[in-house]
Amino acid sequence: MIAATLLMAVQTSAPAIADIRGEWINGKGTAIIQIADCPSGLCGRVIWSAPIARRDAARGGTAALNGTLVMTGFVPSGQRWRGRLFLPDRNRTVKATIAMLNGGQLQVTGCELGGLVCKSQTWNRR
């Protein structure tokens, strides 16, 4: 009985992971990504992009940036989300994590080479 009570206390005291669903503006202000539920977890799709972002994506091999799925399979992992991030300007998919910095900002980090090379960007809620 005591163990069950302690287990319930631990379960209810653990902070819930932040809900990252919604529209986010990337760090450069050149794209808006809509994060929503998908069959494999959360995913994100570009719903608007600036001409410079479309040009960079085209140079990287992504013909149409708007509508491109850039986040796939994001699932909770502790206080972060883990999944895959597509980099349209490099035509590459990398492992990524997302963490809520506060109610209006996300830290999006993508890593290559087994985590040896990582890059982060702060996104703002639209």
Distance CA 76, CA 33 (A): 19
pLDDT at site 114? 82
Cβ–Cβ < 8 Å for 105, 96: no
Q: How many Cα neighbours within 13 Å face the side chain of 41?
A: 13
pLDDT at site 1? 52
The predicted-structure confidence for 4-60, as pLDDT tens digits, reads as follows: 444 444 455 557 888 999 999 999 999 999 999 999 999 999 999 999 999 999 999
Looking only at the bridges linking them, the beta strands covering 41-49 and 31-38 are antiparallel
pLDDT at site 115? 82
The predicted-structure confidence for 73-82, as pLDDT tens digits, reads as follows: 999 999 999 9
Residue 107 has pLDDT above 80, yes or no: yes
Residue 97 has pLDDT above 80, yes or no: yes
Distance CA 26, CA 34 (A): 11
Residue 119 has pLDDT above 50, yes or no: yes
Domains of the chain: 22-125 (2.40.128.520)
Please state which of the ranges 7-16, 91-100, 113-122 shows the lowest mean pLDDT.
7-16
Average pLDDT on 91-115 reads 93
Residue 30, Cα to own-chain centre: how many angstroms?
16
pLDDT at site 113? 86
